[in-house]
Structure 1
Amino acid sequence: MRFPEFSGEWEKCKVSELLDFYSTNSLCWEQLEYDTENISNLHYGLIHVGLPTMVNLVQDRLPNIKDGNKPKNYELCKEGDVAFADASEDTNEVAKAIEFYNLNGRDVICGLHTIHGRDNKDRTVVGFKGYAFSSTAFHNQIRRIAQGTKIYSISTKNFSECYIGIPSKVEQAKIASLLHLIDERIVTQNKIIEDLKKLKSAISERLFNAIKGDVVVLEDIGDVVKGKQINGEFLSESGKYYVMNGGIEPSGFYNDYNVEANTISISEGGNSCGYVQFNACPFWSGGHCYTIQNTTDNVKTEYLYQFLKSKESEIMKLRIGSGLPNIQKKDLAKFKITIPNISEQKVISAFLSSFERKADVEMNFVNLLLEEKQYLLRQMFI
């Protein structure tokens, strides 16, 4: 795929001939902190999670080196420099790259498990390399040469075996501009979704704090049912019925379900215990998952979900244990619920559900943008 105004072959170039590489440091998170004026340090964990392909320090954050930990020798990053994560448990994440698009006057160095590269020959424009090194064509090469069993890794020597395609600078700039605009739109969409969630949360808190009605405990209006554990060997990566098992996301898929659609689940154990979810489809409730079943006629399930969701932080305070926290069934069963009349429940649940539907629409748009970006990363590079 190509913009129609360009023609001619791209130059095929070894990565080791395009980039010069500089030494990096091995500072760990304990030696870093945020929001100081010290030198900023790129930790490989931020390449995997937290930073976009084009790093703009006007809006993106990097930690700073704590006093007394500055390396003796280092190379300051320049705009247009790239950094790769040299290790990962996933071959798709090995050599994941970012490019410093705008340093905003900050001094930045590359740290633990990163590879710092620079195009000293000025063959590329700022913004092109980050996307070229994120392309499918590049990562297919990396997957073939990444070494390891549980942890996969690369070194600068591997870049003598990898190639990228380089078009004219004008074409590079147009490709980078398109992908950067998509990235910025994704950031905007995520901000819209986050603001919708905050708005709904604030309205829910105010609404339920003022609501009048009978105060009962959860076990008075429904059964708190603990799920049934399934060994991981029986789970698959896709299927008809998802499995909820003590997390925010499904832990896999199974060929059967033990809970009907339109049921509330609450995570029983792990770091997310207390997380409340409404399940519109049948699913399998695992060993670290509670469901609320057989609710009484005077309670709408949608209202109960919205009430419990608004009180999620209070439910999480029921946790016991430190290493692997959990919520006891007896404690959850005694959680207090305010129940207004049915008509008021319907109005409240319909109003709050509208925020969730709006957030779902915006999230679907984010997913479409992500699909579009991945498609372009597959089709626009050689």
Structure 2
Amino acid sequence: MQKPSKLAQIPQIRFSGFTDPWERCKLGEVAENTYGGGTPQTSVDSFWNGDIPWIQSQNIIENQLFDVVPQKYISEEAVLKSATKLIPKNSIAIVTRVGVGKLAFMQFSYCTSQDFLSLSGIRIDKKFAVYSIYKMLQKEKENVQGTSIKGITIEELLSKNIELPCNNAEQTKIGELFANLDKLITLHQSKFEKLQKIKKSCLQNLFPQNNQNTPKIRFKNFSDEWENNNLGEICKIIKGEQINKLSLFENGKYYVLNGGISPSGYINTYNTLENTISISEGGNSCGYVKFNIEKFWSGGHNYTLNELKTKTLFLYSFLKAKQQKIMALRVGSGLPNIQKNTLSNISISIPNSEEQEKIGAFFSKLDKLISLQQRKVEKLKNIKKALLNKMLI
């Protein structure tokens, strides 16, 4: 590796005790060897189901830089008789075409498709190298070449500059910091996904399924059959009022729901009170059920449920359990929508008021836990993003 050129640059945030300027080198200089990849013929059975992991772009998960789970394996014969190469463990696999910008540190020997450049024999701290290359790729993603398949050539990639401390100890500290931060993000993401699975299971088991009159799981001391009603019999379904896009602001006191999952803008007046259930009327998200804890403006492609004869949180949870079926009621191809009459005829099973209260409160607490966990994940991701900008040049 040639000695990098010195730069009068230092990151905004550094560990105590490090003051030397960082240095610049080409990406191709940080590795002893580089490898491309290839795809063995799928029609040759003896090439497949061997012991060698064969990695595709889809196996590299965005931001999961150290956790790759192989889905396909090839044989030694495939390596000998195809363009793919056997790459040593502790190499860095970088996606250069489909999914350009993703990368992962590979803790095992592997082969890849032609959509990769792999670096082996890393000459600098390996974890620092992963995060330094990751940051560089984020800058390059918007400038990749190609039309139907965006990508970057291996030659272009190897010529890119990366900045690094000349002190190996500083490289190690930075690499360890980001690796530990990623572990924390993965841990909280796993908790978030687990809570989502728990909610999905509860939605399936705490409400009647397949035209049954009772759910599979119930709270203690409840045994009566649930009563069947149509949605239109237990509430008024009100279509919102269209608002001119020119009247919307990026910031305003009240958000506007107009057929999507997220607000389409903001205004300084409202037409719907807080704690109201809404169902998207039109667009790709039609049928999406939302509980609105704030006053808002219900737009022309949005329904709200008013004058409920059930507990609000119970009905919201019931409709969330049926959301996929509600979405399946859409009609039209260009701009799909759900007709009000169709929505009115949705069958709703209702227990007594006390059981409604318990079910609604249970899902409300569960939703709060999920939201809290999601915010933790987002906060950690924002911390990581900030540190990448301030601790790496």
**SS at structure 2 position matched to 1:8:** coil
Instruction: State whether residues 124 and 169 of structure 1, in contact with CA within 8 Å, keep that contact through their aligned partners in structure 2.
Output: yes
Q: Which runs of 5+ in 2 are unaligned?
A: 1-12, 43-47, 209-213, 216-224
Amino acid at match of 1:224: I
Matches within 5 A, 1:215-234: 215-227=228-240
Task: Give the counterpart of 2:152 among 126, 129, 154.
Answer: 154
SS of match in other structure, 2:384? helix
Aligned partner letter, 1:370: K
Given the alignment of the two structures, is residue 61 of structure 1 paired with residue 69 of structure 2, yes or no?
A: yes
Match of 1:100 among 96, 105, 119: 105
Residues 238-290 of structure 1 deviation map (CA, whole Å, 9 limit, x = unaligned): 6655554555x426424365544322233445665543221223445556x54
Q: How many residues align?
A: 358
Of residues 347-356 and 61-70 in structure 1, the stretch that sits farther from structure 2 once superposed is 61-70
Distance of aligned partners of 1:237 and 1:183 in 2 relative to their CA distance in 1, 3 Å threshold: farther
Change (3 A) 1:217 1:145: closer
Which amino acid in the other structure matches residue 338 of structure 1?
S
Query: What amino acid does structure 2 have at the position aligned with 1:197?
Result: Q
Matches within 5 A, 1:265-276: 265-268=278-281, 273-276=286-289
Q: Confirm whether residue 311 of structure 1 aligns to residue 322 of structure 2.
A: yes
> 5 Å matches for 1:183-194?
183-194=182-193
User: 3-state DSSP class of the match of 1:215?
Assistant: strand
Which residue number in structure 1 is paired with residue 119 of structure 2? 118
Q: In the alignment, is the contact (CA less than 8 A) between 2:164 and 2:171 conserved in 1? A: no
1:82 to 83, 92, 104: 92
Alignment gaps of 5+ in structure 1: 30-34, 89-93
One-letter amino acid matched to 1:98: L
Flag the 1:188–1:341 CA change in 2: closer, same or farther, 3 A: same
Do 2:93 and 2:104's aligned partners in 1 also have CA atoms closer than 8 Å?
Answer: yes
2: CA distance between counterparts of 1:63 and 1:234?
50
Aligned to 2:262: 250
How far apart, CA to CA, are the structure 2 residues paired with 1:312 and 1:175?
45
For residue 174 of structure 1, report the CA deviation from its aligned partner.
2.6
1:152 deviates by 6.2
Matches within 5 A, 1:192-341: 192-209=191-208, 210=214, 212-227=225-240, 241-244=254-257, 246-247=259-260, 249-250=261-262, 252-255=264-267, 259-268=272-281, 273-285=286-298, 289-296=301-308, 298-319=309-330, 327-341=338-352
Q: Which amino acid aligns with 2:357?
A: K
CA distance in 2, matches of 1:69, 1:292: 59
Post-superposition offset of 1:376: 1.4
Of structures 1 and 2, the larger Rg is shown by: 2
1:343, CA displacement in angstroms? 4.0
CA shift, 1:228, in A, is 6.1
Query: Are the equivalent residues in 2 in contact too, given 1:40–1:62 (CA < 8 A)?
Result: yes
TM-score computed with the length of structure 2 as normaliser: 0.73
- 2:366 corresponds to 1:367: no
* Equivalent of residue 140 in structure 2, options 139, 142, 147: 142
CA gap of 1:331–1:260, structure 2 versus 1, over 3 A, is: same
**Residue in 1 that maps onto 2:7:** none
CA distance in 1 between partners of 2:291 and 2:132 (Å): 40
The alpha-carbon distance between structure 1 residues 202 and 276, as it changes in their structure 2 partners (threshold 3 A), is: same
Q: Deviations over 1:170-224 (max 9, x none)?
A: 3323322221222122222122122222223333433333364432111112233
Q: Deviations over 1:85-126 (max 9, x none)?
A: 4468xxxxx8524222423xx6331443x4x14154x42233
Task: Give the Å deviation of 1:321.
Answer: 7.0
Q: How much does 1:318 deviate?
A: 3.4
**SS of equivalent to 1:55:** coil
